[in-house]
Every structure is written in structure tokens, then in C-alpha cells.
Chains A and B, each alone.
Chain A
Amino acid sequence: MARSEPAKNFRLKRANEADERLLVKAAQRDASRFAALYESNFEVVYAYVARRVHDRAATEDLTSEVFHKALANLSRFKWTGAPFAAWLLRIASNVIADRAKRVGREGNVPLNESGPSLTVGPHRGSRSPQTQQTDLEDAERRARVFKLIDELVGDQHRVVVMRFAEEKSIREIAGELDRSEGAVKQLQFRALESLRKRLQDK
């Protein structure tokens, strides 16, 4: 049983790859099939962008721009063996760089340090394959955490969403859930504990 696991995992990985490739094909023929690609890649793109712009409204704008661009340019996507997400992150990297230039011209907020630097400008997209690979793995790891949230139940789920997505204080959450602050902190602790276990199991 245990011995067949690696073979099974390999088969599964190959199956996922083959499925993704066919999903892309289907969407290239019929744009209404794009939804499946969106569903499976939303979190990765969002995680990648969020890491680089930090501001929630900007993250949403840019994530939205990435998927609109991907949809519009889908016919140009060519399968090279790299995951579809890698292509999306390349678009994201360009979209972020464009915004940085725009913002720079308007003399607004400077780029945060983990964002792409302006000097990348003319050579953008030429980041080394190693960097791209690490960026993808990092975004995928955080995307996994985002998706795991859906496995939390009841108030644990609500606390995590309110605390991290809605950025509410423990007091605000306690008020909304009609619970003590101590109880909310305990829910927060147990939710994170449960996420950590699930991450370990994967």
C-alpha cells in the first residue's frame, strides 16, 4: 500500500497537469470555459499580488486586471509544460510594474520593498526562471492557506475571515458574534491550530 503511494502521487500530478492543459484548450475554444481556470488559479494570483502591493484595494484592482488580461489574451497562451499559473504570474508581474510606473509618475506612494523595482522596467519579464519558480511556489503555498479557510467550520471560520480579511479587532468581532473577547481569542487560536495541522498533513 505505502509503496504504491509515490506512483499514485505521480499519476495524480500527471493527471492534474493533463487536466489543466485540457482546461486551457477548452477555454481557448470557448471563453465561457474560462471560469474553471479562474476558480483554480484565483488564490495564487491574489497571493502573488497581495505580497507585492500590500494595499487591499490595489490588490483587488490588480488581481482583477490580471484575469481580464488573461481572458483577453488566452489565445496567445502556448503550452510549454509550465503550469498555467506561471503565465498568470507573468501577467501579474507586468501589471504591477505598470502600476508602479504610473504611481511613480504621479508622485504617490513609493513602492514597498518587496515589490518590483522600477529599474526592472524595460527588462521586465526577463526575471530568471529560478526566481519565477520560487515566486510561484511561494504564492502557491499561501494560496493553499487561503483555500484551507473553507474547511474551517462555524465561528472559527467567521473569526478568521473577520480578523484577517476584514481586518477587524478582537473587540469588534466579539461584539458581532456576541461572545466574550476571551472566547474570540480562543476561536482564533484553535482556527490557526487547525490550519497548521491541515497544512502539515498536505
Chain B
Amino acid sequence: MSEVELTERLDLAIEAMLRNPQDVSPDDLEPTISELLRVALDLRHLPGADFKARLKDELERETLMSTKAQSTQRNQPAQSAIREGFRTVTPYLVVPDVHAEIAFITSTFGAQGKVYGLGSAGGFHSEYRIGDSMLMIGGGGKGSKWKGTPVPASLHVYVADVDGVYQRAVQAGAISLMEPTDMEYGERGAAIEDLGGNHWYLATATGPSYTPEGLPNLMPYFNPVGAPKMIDFLKRAFDAEEIARHQSPAGIVHHAKIRIGDSIVEMGEAHGPWQPRPMHFMVYVDDCDAWYARAMTAEGAVSVGEPANQPYGGRTGTIEDPFGNTWYLSSAMKTK
């Protein structure tokens, strides 16, 4: 059959179908026509070209009004997903001696906080504040039978007086990794390793304030092998956003700042003495199950623990990223 004949027959069938769909049974027609008629049957209810856009405008006007109405009531703090005083991401240092670590950060940084006694794994849990940022420290120490593996962190910390802090750290027994030096990117920096194995990149910004604008006192610092891949992972898993990236023409990331929720993490490609040091993080989210499900869709995510209510309160699901970092996604306990 010629194409002209086919187009005529198809149109006859469509014409009949548009008049009364009940009159048409595609099965009685030749295969080519019948297959196309089935598509046409579905198209019979095709929405008008501008209806979708019109309704969208209408809904948008309505949301605008309802958002305004809500914002007047929103003065009371909504039941926030994030624990008071915390940000989305909190580094979790696992150390052999929690008390020694606390003594160190207290004398060096003037940290303040509290030890919460022995947890289910027999270790201590503590929460300390340095400047405007929180840290969690867990592990063993006197009075604990904890026999876990320490997981030291790498942290970039802004302090008012890098030289003074460096001196105090070394006096408290820290190993010097780098003496205070003026860096070309606008800060005076130094680096130390404390007794728990944590790396601290101490810095005083040379601007009007010792912390650069918009940055917290403390940020975790990654030196992954394959920084671009890690950035992609954080985006896919946690909806992270790249806020700065400096890279060589060959694509080596020298430095990047990534926002996760209201937190910022930093990274630079592994090089020289700065090699990967996987860390643990507490991540506060509005819905642990939803974020866990999303994070698990990121390439290379491995489940360490499915979301479950925790004896210490809250609900946590745990994943490990392809770079060895562990993320505890936590939200309020589910109440059915």
C-alpha cells in the first residue's frame, strides 16, 4: 500500500475515532494503521497547549500568597531539623583517649563542652565548641573498655592569633607539621598533629577579621585521591553545592569549598604529605530515611547501617562514601 493510501486510511480511522471512540476497534484494522490509531486514541485527551502554563501561573500566585501568610506566623522557631547550636555537618573525632583530647582542645583553643558518659559501644561521647563551630569527640580513655579503631580528623580552624595557638599546641605535646608562615592566599597558617592523631590547619586571615567573611571557625579538610569525583559524590548524595574551586589546567583541584546544608567543607587533591585521611561526620537532616535513600543512589555509596531509631534519641542511617568517609545521617525520631 502506498504512503498516500496509508495516510488516507489512517485519517479516516482518526476521524471516526474523534467522532466516537466507541466506534473504533484498532484490532480490525491492518497492523500499521492499528498501531498508529492506538497512539491517536491516547492523544484524544491531549491537553490544550496553554492550559498547563495557565494553571501553573495560577498555582504560583496562590503559593505566593500562602507563603506571605505563613511568614507572618513563622517567628517562632520551627521545629528545626538541626540540633540547636549545630550545623548540618559536624566532624566526629574518634580518639584513643577522649579526656586527653579534650584537655588539648581546651588548653589550645579554649574549647567548651561536655562529656556524655559511656555509650553502648563502651566509649565516651562528648560535644565541644570551638568559636562558632561544634565538634563531636568519641572513643576510649580512663574508665572505658572501648577498643575501637581511632579515626582522626583533618580540620581547618581559624583562630585570632595563629602564632600563639601554635605555641600552646606544641607546648601541650602536639607535633609541628608546619611552622606559622604567611600564605599567598591571604592568611597566616600553621599545621600541627595532636596526640590523638588529628591534623589541625591553624589559620588567621589577614583581612579585617581573623575569619574570612562567610566562613565558620572550623571546617573539615579532605585530601582525596580524585577530588572532582568526591565533589560529584557530595552533590549527588547530599545535594552539595560547589562554592569555590581552584584547579590547574590539567584538572587537579588545588582547593575547593563545598556547601552541604548550612555547612562548608574544604578539599584539595592529595599531594606530598597531605594524603587521604577518611573521617566521620554527624549530619543533621530533616528526614533521615529520605536523605539516606538519596545518598545511597550516589555512585559508590555503601550502606553501613540502615535508618533506625537510636537508643540515644533520634534516627540515624549511615553510609560510607567511596573515599572512606562515614556519614551518620540523623533526624528526629520517627513518631508514628
Contact = CB atoms under 8 A, between A and B. Distances in A.
Contacts of A35: 56, 59-60, 63
Given A60-B51, A196-B35, A185 B290 contact: no
Interface in B43-84: 43-49, 51-52, 55-56, 58-60, 62-64, 66-67, 70
Contact of A79 (B39, B43, B290): B290
Nearest to A59: B45
A142 B286 contact: no
Interface string A58-70: 0110011001100
Contact of B294 (A22, A38, A51, A199): A22
Contacts of B293: 14, 17-18, 21
B163 interface: no
Given A18-B294, A164-B44, A31 B39 contact: no
Given A59-B45, A165-B47, A192-B10, A18 B55 contact: no
A11 B290 CA distance: 15
A22 B290 contact: yes
Contacts of B55: 38, 42, 60, 63-64, 67
B43 A189 contact: no
A136 interface: no
A124 B159 CA distance: 64
Best-surrounded residue of B10, B43, B239 (most CB of chain A within 10 A): B43
B27 interface: no
Contacts of A59: 45, 47
Interface stretch (B1-9, B178-186, B256-264): B1-9
Contacts of A85: none
B49 A192 contact: no
A18 B297 contact: yes
B287 interface: yes
A155 to B, nearest CB: 14
B45 A189 contact: no
A189 B18 contact: no
B18 A167 contact: yes
B48 A196 contact: no
Contacts of B18: 167
A39 B53 CA distance: 10
A189 B290 contact: no
B36 A192 contact: yes
B296 interface: yes
A195 B287 CA distance: 40
Interface residues of B, number: 44
B23 interface: no
A25 B287 contact: yes
Given A60-B48, A161-B49, A193-B36, A185 B43 contact: no
A18 B287 CA distance: 11
Contacts of A19: 294
A102 to B, nearest CB: 21
Contact of B59 (A34, A79, A149, A165): A34
Contacts of A163: 14
B49 A165 contact: yes
Contacts of A142: 42, 45
B46 A164 contact: yes
Interface string A157-197: 00011011111001000000000001001101100110110
Given A67-B59, A164-B43, A185-B8, 7 more contacts: A14-B296, A22-B239, A60-B55, A63-B55, A68-B62, A164-B44, A189-B7
28 contacts: A15-B297, A17-B293, A18-B290, A19-B294, A21-B287, A25-B290, A31-B63, A31-B66, A39-B56, A46-B45, A59-B47, A60-B47, A63-B55, A141-B42, A146-B47, A160-B46, A161-B46, A165-B46, A165-B49, A186-B7, A188-B7, A188-B14, A189-B6, A189-B10, A189-B36, A192-B36, A192-B39, A195-B43
Please list the 6 inter-chain residue pairs (A to B) with the smallest Cβ-Cβ separation, ordered nearest first. A50-B45, A18-B294, A15-B297, A31-B63, A189-B7, A164-B43
